[in-house]
Amino acid sequence: MDQEEKRSENKMGVMPVNRLLLSMSIPMIISMLVQSLYNIVDSIFVARIDEHAYALTALSLAFPIQNLMIGVGVGTGVGINAFLSKSLGEKSYSMVNRSAMNGIFLAWLSCLVFMVFGFTGVGAFFSSQTDIPEVVSAGQDYLFWICVLSFGMFNQITLERLLISTGRTFYSMISQTAGALTNIILDPIMIFGLFGFPEMGTAGAALATVIGQTVGASLALYFNIRINRDISLSIKGFRPDIGIIRRIYAVGLPSTLMGSLGSVMIFGLNQILISFTSTAAAVFGVYFRLQSFVLMPVFGLNNGMVPILAYNFGAKKKERIIKVVRLSMMYATGIMFLGFAVFQVFPANLLAMFNATSEMMSMGIPALRIISFHFLFAGFCIVFLSVFQALGNGGVSLFIVASRQLIFLLPVAWLLSLTGSINAIWWTFPVAECMTLALSSYLIRRVYAEKIKYM
């Protein structure tokens, strides 16, 4: 059997849908959980650097830039994912290879942009948010290394997306898990100076992170070269293809902009919260890391769902498209309800992991309980966004996210802050999520009628 015959039997077009979705999503869910775990572990160790939570607050204020970097990487990856999987469904194998190489090229361009910011913009970014010198110093030490050595993160995301796009989510799970475990092991060693290492504080946390990302990227590259038969990576004769880059960004740029909007929202909320007290910003940072343990499995589910949808959209298999969307909504809702229950029952235990002071406990317990109500609606919204992206409607996803972050969320947070009650601000999230769900439900019906109904 030659290579094209092997490719023609890609499981995304023939395997029973539920088994296919689970086989592709479970490895991604596991890897996303591990990814979330090392983000949480990062903050748990950093919270023990000082008793005033300056370092933890610094990481919270650095998060908009980190979120932007992830948004750029994942957004580009979504474009690669959808375009490459669609090309596989259409059996356009030369386009598969060209899209993969152009995706890697875009990853290195993204790295270069943030490297420049690391050298020139980190100090001004922190000084614009706070005048607490301990927070500024810890934040600069952390974000400088995250930006300057971002090649590990961007290449890890891109190379793992190539594995996901061709249905090899198990190998993506291995590379992500290896990177995460490397970070978890190195965190206490490099933060607190164990086993002869110098004590590096937040800089150590950053270096542990980028080393872990580089390990993950290296493994993903190995798997793509040695195991991924659907893609042939070669730099020989490579030239950037503007047409392919345009098509990648037609889907991926809205996702990138969505990440950017998330950074704007986090930055804006940090400014509102820190005007009350720096502890409020620290609580918000803790919430964001804890919520990732709930949201990341849903994103893992979506990572498994998107190539299936894109492949079957390219192959014009309507029934498989509808079934995978319904199953994804069912699983996503179950995951989010479980997260909601944990936040309602164990908020004090969750905060205790971050060495929370009595002030942080009194503020954080009601915060976690109130904010987590948005989990009940978020599962539907996240699946809808991925459906739009997989079907080539990235602009619709962008419109929904822009509405959520800039029209629903930030203005509501500002209005609620005028009450003078920090607890009122936490209700921003459930309110914004309900409004987002209503908008998403309306738009999904329109896209279904245009692209799926008469397929």
Mean pLDDT over the full length of the chain:
86
Number of domains in the chain: 1
pLDDT higher than threshold 90 for residue 74: no
Mean pLDDT of 247-254: 78
83 versus 141: the higher-pLDDT residue is 141
**Percentage of the chain modeled with pLDDT above 90:** 38
- Banded pLDDT at 216 (limits 50, 70, 90): very high
The answer to the question of residue 67 being in a domain is yes
Judge whether 4 lies within some domain.
no
**Residues 21, 304 contacting (CB under 8 angstroms):** yes
Average pLDDT over residues 324-344: 93
Confidence of residue 6 (pLDDT cuts 50, 70, 90): very low
Per-residue confidence at 75, pLDDT binned at 50, 70, 90? Answer: confident
5 located within any domain: no
Higher pLDDT among residues 398 and 295, named by residue: 295
Domain that holds residue 101: 10-452
Query: Has residue 129 been placed in a domain?
Result: yes
Residue at 352 is within a domain = yes
Write out the two tokens for 434.
């309900």
Q: So what's the pLDDT on residue 377?
A: 93
How many whole angstroms separate alpha carbon 97 and alpha carbon 371?
44
Q: pLDDT by residue (tens digit) across 35-53?
A: 677 678 888 888 888 776 7
- Assign 5 a pLDDT band (cuts: 50, 70, 90): very low
Instruction: Output 350 or 2, whichever has higher pLDDT.
Output: 350
Task: Report the pLDDT value the prediction gives residue 213, as an integer from 0 to 100.
Answer: 93
In tens, the pLDDT along 136-163 reads: 999 999 999 999 999 999 999 999 888 8
Question: pLDDT higher for 204 or 38?
Answer: 204
Q: Could you tell me if 371 and 426 are in contact, meaning their C-beta atoms sit under 8 angstroms apart? A: yes
- Distance, CA of 37 to CA of 85 (rounded, Å): 29
pTM comes to 0.75
pLDDT band at 10 (very low <50, low <70, confident <90, very high): low
Across 141-145, 261-265, 400-404, which has the greatest mean pLDDT?
141-145
**220: confidence class by pLDDT, cuts 50, 70, 90:** very high
Residue 276 pLDDT exceeds 80: yes
104 domain-assigned = yes
Q: How confident is the model at residue 203 (pLDDT cuts 50, 70, 90)?
A: very high
Whether 7 has a pLDDT exceeding 60, the answer reads no
Instruction: Over range 73-78, report the average pLDDT.
Output: 84
* pLDDT above 90: residue 340: yes
109 belongs to a structural domain: yes
The reported pLDDT for the residue numbered 437 is: 94
Do residues 247 and 80 touch, judged by C-beta distance below 8 A?
Answer: no
Q: Please tell me the predicted confidence (pLDDT) of residue 88.
A: 75
The whole-number average pLDDT for the span 352-374 is 92
Going 83 to 88 to 91 to 94, the CA torsion angle's sign is: positive
Between these two residues, 126 and 82, which has the higher pLDDT value? 126
How much is the pLDDT for 4? 47
32 part of a folded domain: yes
Give the Cα separation of 220 and 161 in Å (integer). 9
Q: Which residue has the higher pLDDT, 36 or 282?
A: 282
The CA distances from residue 429 to 213, 225, 274, 374, 411, in Å, are 31, 43, 18, 6, 12
So what's the pLDDT on residue 12? 66
Cα 112 to the chain's mean position, in Å? Answer: 20
125 vs 114: CA distance, rounded Å:
13
Mean pLDDT of 12-27: 80
Q: For position 433, what pLDDT does the model report?
A: 94
Is pLDDT larger for residue 434 or for residue 5?
A: 434
Q: What is the reported pLDDT for 414?
A: 93
